[in-house]
């Protein structure tokens, strides 16, 4: 730890926090906020959400007996103060780095992380599971789930609340309402919460403590009195939460420890048989002026200057794949009024904020609801619109049944723009786009494409506009392109046709996706050793370019496939084709290069691909191994 703090220097675990006098807890929170800002300025990460829950983090660990009591943070964007208080203070500047702390909660990392999270809206479900396990084991440990107003908009949260309300199992849910998830929250829930705050039920500190104390003392007695009736009619009468079976308290000021401490204490000590929901109001980016003023409240930041708020930006002048997608789609939408775009609470991340500026009425942000997003897109497709569902690979996993049942089976022409394909670096395994090639290529009626560079991405978008009888997907990585010249929006590619980008002998490499640049690096080294490769930009995992594969298999000694995805994807489809045609029986050598069958921890993308044996050195080694060469590969630094 770089700073000399009066309190935080002596706090390594919640047991140390409990030694602090209650009236000094705000000073602890102030130091914790300063340390969070200081650490994230060096590492980058999810700053705004963490700053918004500093007081809540202090209060929860002060009142509850963690890790015996289970504290579950939804998504984990806001867990940095929690990590500092739970034995990870000295490692906080390793956040999101190779071998360092995860940017999310992680069971393997600490006993204070009872449930790992990085996708939203899972906290209530997991907390209920733990609470039911406690009931079965006759344990009285508390279970607390913290969920944001954005995350609670997802269907899974409602499913969990419905089940929890009917179970009569005690658990505590804290709704952290900051009016801002990643982007501005959308939908009826956001409007509903806003109405709560616009009414006269946002109590002052004195009124809150009086009502909460009175309500709890009477609510959990054999017979409720007038105070409870007043409280429930003023605050919870007719609300969604009480209708779902939750005892609702709030809303209260989530930055006021004098409010939080007694309310959490009463919730902890109550004998209420059933779930309790405490609704708090917080401010994302609280306590750091640049974060408070930012449009996204500094949701995800790179390294930054604390004094100026200026973030370290990439020096690359090459546009990102995300921006190329967005700008290309805008060009098509200007010519085709049937093109519409759908995002699941990620307009900025997917580039659809650019599309929305041009076509606000044709842009649909459905909130954190990927399942709904896909079926909503399917509905649009039935009416001859051309929906583009722009969803990160990792988040599309959440809607797989809808992709299968509502889109593929009905052959509806939904276009999936799959951003963050492949390994993504600091966000680690939960956000890696490792599986979409496999889980989409297994589906009948699907066209699956992967762009080797930004020029190819434009061509795939162009092509997708005219695919009107079945679904399609095109995947592309995070970050900047390679600087290739972008074609016009009229340049398309033939469905299922690869392109040969280099003619060679003996061995052919079929590259699917953005490893093409690394393949060329390997080829350049191999040329110096007298080995000339045939290199193919495969473009399609489905349908395969069977004619070209047949030709390569009958004119080369070996074929190697490369992809930024798991086993079961492009390479598996190629070997299946070769096997069915009997080509493997003719002494053709075949190797597939995929991501390893493990979840890869966070690091730089370069290090992650090196670890995965998908860098140029690994490609070179694979070629030499297949050809049984004795030439030694010189490792590149």
Q: How many CB atoms lie within 10 A of CB 600?
A: 17
Task: Single out the catalytic residue among 97, 284, 386, 539.
Answer: 284
CA distance 399 to 26: 42
Three-class SS state of 402:
helix
CA distance 145 to 64: 12
CB burial readout 7-46, b (16+ within 10 A) else e: bbeebbbbeebeebeeeebeebbbbbbbbbbebbbbbbbb
| 91 is a catalytic site residue | no
Tokens 């775009």 locate to 341
Cα 632 vs. chain centroid, distance in angstroms? 41
Secondary-structure breakdown of the chain: helix, strand, coil percentages, each rounded to the nearest 5: 45, 15, 40
List phi, psi (to 5°) of 193.
-65, -35
DSSP string spanning 41-56? HHH-B-HHHHHHTHHH
Token code pair at residue 60: 């929860």
370 flagged as catalytic: yes
Question: Is position 539 annotated as part of the catalytic site?
Answer: no
Neighbours of 211 (CB within 10 A): 19
Count CA within 13 A, CB hemisphere, residue 119. 22
The DSSP secondary structure of 474-489, one letter per residue, reads EE--SSB---PPP--T
* From 356, 398, 459, 622, active-site residue: 398
Active-site entry in 35, 370, 563, 620: 370
Per-residue burial over 376-391, b if 16 or more Cβ lie within 10 Å, else e, is bbbebbeeebbbbbbb
Give the contacts of 301 (CB within 8 A, at least 6 positions apart): 40, 44, 45, 46, 47, 311
Q: For residue 200, give every residue at least 6 positions away whose Cβ sits within 8 Å of its Cβ, in sequence order, or none.
A: none
Catalytic residues: 284, 370, 398
């Amino acid at each position: 730890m770089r700073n000399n703090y009066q309190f935080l220097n002596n706090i390594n675990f919640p047991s140390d926090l409990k030694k602090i006098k209650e009236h000094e807890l705000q000073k602890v929170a102030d130091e914790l906020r300063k340390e969070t800002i200081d650490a994230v300025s060096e590492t980058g990460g999810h700053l705004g959400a963490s700053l918004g829950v500093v007081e809540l983090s202090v209060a929860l660990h002060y009142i509850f007996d963690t890790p015996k009591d289970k504290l579950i943070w939804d998504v984990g964007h806001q867990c940095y103060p929690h990590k500092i208080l739970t034995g990870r203070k000295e490692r906080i500047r390793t956040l999101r780095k190779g071998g360092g702390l995860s940017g999310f909660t992680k069971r393997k990392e600490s006993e204070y992380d009872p449930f790992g999270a990085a996708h939203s809206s899972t906290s209530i479900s997991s907390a209920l599971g733990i609470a039911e396990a406690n009931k079965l084991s006759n344990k009285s440990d508390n279970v607390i789930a913290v969920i944001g107003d954005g995350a609670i908009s997802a269907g899974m949260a409602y499913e969990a609340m419905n089940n929890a309300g009917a179970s009569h199992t005690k658990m505590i849910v804290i709704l952290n309402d900051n009016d801002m998830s990643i982007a501005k929250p959308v939908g009826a829930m956001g409007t509903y919460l806003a109405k709560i705050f616009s009414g006269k039920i946002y109590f002052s500190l004195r009124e809150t403590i009086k009502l909460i104390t009175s309500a709890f003392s009477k609510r959990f007695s054999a017979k409720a009195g007038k105070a409870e009736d007043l409280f429930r009619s003023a605050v919870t009468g007719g609300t969604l939460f009480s209708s779902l079976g939750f005892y609702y308290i709030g809303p209260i000021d989530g930055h006021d420890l004098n409010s939080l401490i007694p309310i959490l204490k009463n919730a902890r000590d109550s004998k209420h048989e059933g779930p309790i929901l405490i609704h708090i109001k917080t401010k994302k980016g609280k306590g750091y002026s640049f974060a408070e003023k930012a449009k996204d409240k500094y949701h995800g930041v790179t390294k930054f200057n604390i004094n100026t708020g200026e973030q370290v930006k990439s020096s690359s002048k090459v546009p990102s794949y995300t921006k190329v997608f967005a700008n290309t789609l805008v060009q098509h939408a200007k010519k085709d009024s049937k093109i519409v775009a759908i995002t699941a609470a990620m307009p900025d991340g997917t580039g659809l904020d650019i599309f929305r500026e041009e076509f606000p009425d044709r842009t649909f942000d459905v909130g954190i609801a990927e399942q709904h997003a896909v079926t909503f897109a399917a509905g649009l497709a039935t009416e001859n619109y051309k929906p583009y569902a722009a969803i990160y690979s990792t988040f599309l996993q959440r809607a797989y049944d809808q992709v299968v049942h509502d889109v593929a089976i009905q052959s509806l022409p939904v276009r999936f723009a799959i951003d963050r394909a492949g390994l993504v670096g600091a966000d680690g395994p939960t956000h890696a786009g490792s599986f979409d090639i496999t889980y989409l290529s297994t589906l009948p009626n699907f066209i699956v494409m992967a762009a080797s560079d930004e020029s190819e991405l434009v061509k795939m978008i162009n092509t997708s506009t005219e695919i009107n009888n079945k679904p399609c997907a095109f995947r592309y990585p995070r970050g900047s392109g390679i600087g290739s010249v972008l074609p016009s929006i009229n340049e398309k590619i033939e469905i299922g046709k690869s392109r040969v980008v280099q003619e060679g002998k003996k061995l052919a490499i079929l590259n699917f996706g953005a490893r093409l640049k690394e393949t060329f690096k390997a080829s350049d080294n191999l040329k110096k050793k007298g080995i000339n490769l045939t290199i193919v930009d495969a473009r399609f995992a489905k349908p395969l370019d069977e004619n070209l594969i047949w030709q390569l298999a009958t004119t080369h000694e070996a074929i190697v496939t490369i992809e930024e995805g798991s086993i079961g994807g492009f390479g598996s489809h190629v070997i299946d084709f070769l096997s069915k045609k009997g080509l493997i029986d003719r002494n053709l050598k075949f190797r597939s290069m995929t991501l390893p069958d493990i979840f890869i921890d966070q690091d730089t993308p370069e290090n992650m691909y090196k670890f995965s044996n998908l860098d140029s050195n690994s490609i070179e080694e694979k070629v030499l191994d297949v050809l049984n060469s004795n030439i030694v590969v010189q490792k590149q630094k």
